Amino acid sequence: MPLTLEIVTPEARVYSDTIDTVVLPTSSGEVGILPGHIPLLTQIANGELRVTKNGQTLWLAVSGGFAEVEGDKVRVLAEHAITEEKIDVNAVEDALKRAEQQLSDAQGIDPQQYERLQNLVRYSGVQLAVKRRRR
Amino acid sequence: MASTRDIRRRIKSVKNTRQITKAMELVAASKMKKAQQAALAGRPYAELMSQMLAALADRVEQSQHPFLAQREIKVRGIILITSDKGLCGPLNSNLFKLVTDIKTPAKYAVIGRKGAQFIARTRRQLLADFPANDRTTFADVKVVAEFMVQQFLEGNVDTVEVVWPRFRNTLVQVPTLMPLLPLSSLKEAIDGLVSDAGLTPASTPRATDSQMLFEPAATSVLEALLPLYVNRGLYLMALAAKASEHSARMVAMKTAKDNATKLLGDLTLEYNKARQAGITQEILEIAAAQFAA
């Protein structure tokens, strides 16, 4: 029985397909989901989400969210998610540089801003990693 | 009667105005469509979140999370969502009327320049103002939500409420005040999400919830999910406010265009009359001169 995977963000439904397996980057390590998994609700960290379908592997970069496994349905609630082919390396590298610059410049900016920038850096890093793996 | 030259000048300027308002109407119409689509695109997210919350609510009897704690309300925290630009009919002033009715002590965070100006002008306490970009992204709204949540957690404000123009339809936008925090109960939050997703409440319960595995523990998942719930709520309202703004502008511009067209008709009539009168006058003069000769 194949799994169906659905990834939604507040802005759009990013991915929706039937797949063979998926590996989720949870806050306590990677979790591989095969058909017949027990119901699970877990927190997702910034990382690479790996989808296998018909022997082909697809990577997605996701950041902060939750995943739910229920029956043969896997659903991911993420703040950002992007498929590998949509990642624009140059744009991400620029954003990464800007954010890192801001991080090193701004000592003593408010912690929230700091956390936001760090998050951005991490997510950018993930996107680059996903892209590089492909090459 | 005004001279024909004056009327001609007037006609020209009214024509220009009509051109501009017509263009603005079309722009607003297309932007409105986009904003509505964006609001609809958030539905699957609301649906999934409601199911996750429902699964958690069964497991977690009582949460100590500060979002759920009821406390005495001394200072209300209000997020006011307005537009950056004017020319959108009574949209912003209707919101300001609602704000004026708030008599209890309150602190404000504002999205949009119009609102910031209003709060400053009426000497209310402004905590922060944020720009209202043309395209509302989740990241933009998240900054606002997190700022307000921070204030809430630090005790600067005891509630987080939102004043925004609720989008009813293209012609009607209802200024609305809605509490966001504290959440009175999880149940209510779930119901809100379900209706946002455009579902009926009956379609959500599932059988397997009881055997669900939580990683990490249910309580900590819930506590991580709640801030996301708040962010999403505000994001949805910001999108609705955007849709309202553009539709209000569209309607205002349509009225302006129609008025200009009507004025143009009147002016043209007057111009033709003046021209005709001039010609008649001239003929009379020529005829009189002939007689005299």
Average pLDDT of the residues in B164-171: 87
Q: Chain B: nearest CA to A68, how far in angstroms?
A: 8
Mutate to test the interface with A, among B50, B52, B59 (most CBs of A within 10 A): B52
Q: What is the ipTM of this complex?
A: 0.76
In this complex, which of B48, B137, B224 lies closest to A75 when CB atoms are compared?
Answer: B48
B88 in active site: yes
| CATH number, domain B4-27+251-292 | 1.10.287.80
Domains of chain B, residue spans: 4-27+251-292, 46-247
Q: Please say if the pLDDT value at position A90 is more than 80.
A: no
| CATH architecture of the region B46-247 | 3-Layer(aba) Sandwich (3.40)
What percent of chain B stands above pLDDT 70?
93
Q: Is B290 exposed, middle or buried (0-12, 13-18, 19+ CB in 10 A)?
A: exposed
Residue A110 CA, chain-centre distance (Å), reads 26
Tell me, yes or no, if the two domains B4-27+251-292 and B46-247 fold the same way.
no
Question: How many beta-carbon contacts under 8 Å exist across A and B?
Answer: 83
What is the predicted pLDDT for the residue at B110?
92
In this predicted model, what pLDDT tens digit does every residue of B189-223 receive, in sequence order? 777 777 777 666 554 555 555 577 887 787 888 88
> At CB < 8 Å, which residues of chain A contact B?
6, 8-13, 26-28, 31, 38-43, 65-66, 68, 70-71, 75, 77, 79, 112, 116
Parallel/antiparallel/unpaired status of strands B76-81 and A13-19:
unpaired
- Rounded Cα distance between B32 and B200, Å, is 26
3-state secondary structure of A8: strand
What is the predicted pLDDT for the residue at B62?
65
pTM: 0.83
In this predicted model, what pLDDT tens digit does every residue of A37-59 receive, in sequence order? 888 888 888 888 888 888 888 88
DSSP state of B39: H
Of the candidates B14, B28, B88, B248, the residue annotated as catalytic is: B88
Q: Please say if the pLDDT value at position B175 is more than 70.
A: yes
Q: Please say if the pLDDT value at position B139 is more than 90.
A: no
Q: Please say if the pLDDT value at position B268 is more than 90.
A: yes
Nearest C-alpha neighbor of A14 from the set B163, B177, B45, B173: B45
Residue A112 phi/psi, 5-degree rounding, is: -70, -45
